[in-house]
Amino acid sequence: MEQMRQMLKVAFNWLLGRSLAQHLDTSAVAATRHISSNRYDFINRNNNIVLEYQKKSLISLSLPKVIQGMTGEELSIIRNLTTKYPLEK
């Protein structure tokens, strides 16, 4: 038997100093939509946007401090290379 999930989300905004009748009055909705009436409301900020944007390291390269070898010998210079995206060789 298939289960169905249903979800209901309800949010209430309660303005201090107003009665329940004033909150339920449908003709007063337009007045609450103006910026001038909301200047004393608490600030609700979404900080997730700021936390998501941080400088990300796309590529990291480390080289050896000293390279020693003989004449004609081929040595690898790059010790460690890490990237977020694949590179072509």
DSSP conformation letters of 24-88? H-GGGHHHHTSTGGGTTSPP---THHHHH------EEEE--S-----TT------SEEEESS---
Rounded CA-CA distance 76/61 in Å is 13
Task: Work out the percent of the chain whose per-residue pLDDT is above 70.
Answer: 73
pLDDT (0 to 100) of residue 48? 62
Low-confidence ranges of the chain (pLDDT < 50): none
What's the pTM?
A: 0.30
Q: State residue 80's pLDDT score.
A: 83
- For residue 42, what pLDDT is reported? 66
CA distances 80 to 2, 8, 26, 35, 65, Å, are: 52, 51, 66, 55, 13
